[in-house]
Amino acid sequence: MYVLMVTLHVKPERREQFMEAMLGDARGSNQDEPGCLRFDVLQDAADPNLVHLYEAYRDEAAFQAHQQAPHYLKWRDTVRDWFAGPAARHIGRNVYPPDEAWR
């Protein structure tokens, strides 16, 4: 399994538009990508301009397919200039529940 944890800093004046675009990508990932096992969008409780993503893919190839999906490309091009700083991306390995327990 290929797991990512991403933290994004969004410009305050773009937050609502960003969240709308982000939900479009999340829904597309969950509904249209068989290799996407999970795509969670979390808004920080202390700073609403800080968005955390938790993404789980069957393997790295599924993640690469995600980066070519129409909903991802639309999101990427839409939000390109809406970040207040660089993204922090961490790639991890699933531990629990075991990989075979995922859909």
Domain count, the chain: 1
Q: How confident is the model over 40-90, as pLDDT tens digits? A: 999 999 999 999 999 999 999 999 999 999 999 999 999 999 999 999 999
Close Cβ partners of 60 (under 8 Å, ≥ 6 residues apart): 2
100 lies in some domain: no
Query: What residue type is assigned to position 23 of the chain?
Result: L
The maximal CA–CA distance of the chain, rounded, in angstroms, is 42
Give the pLDDT score at 102: 78
76 lies in some domain: yes
CATH of the domain at 28: 3.30.70.100
Q: Is the pLDDT of residue 100 over 90?
A: no
79 lies in some domain: yes
97 lies in some domain: no
| Beta bridge pairs of residue 29 | none
Tell me which residue of 76, 73, 32, 39 sits closest to 57, measured CA to CA: 39
Q: How many CA atoms lie within 13 A of 87 on its CB side?
A: 17
Domain holding 7, by residue range, is 2-90
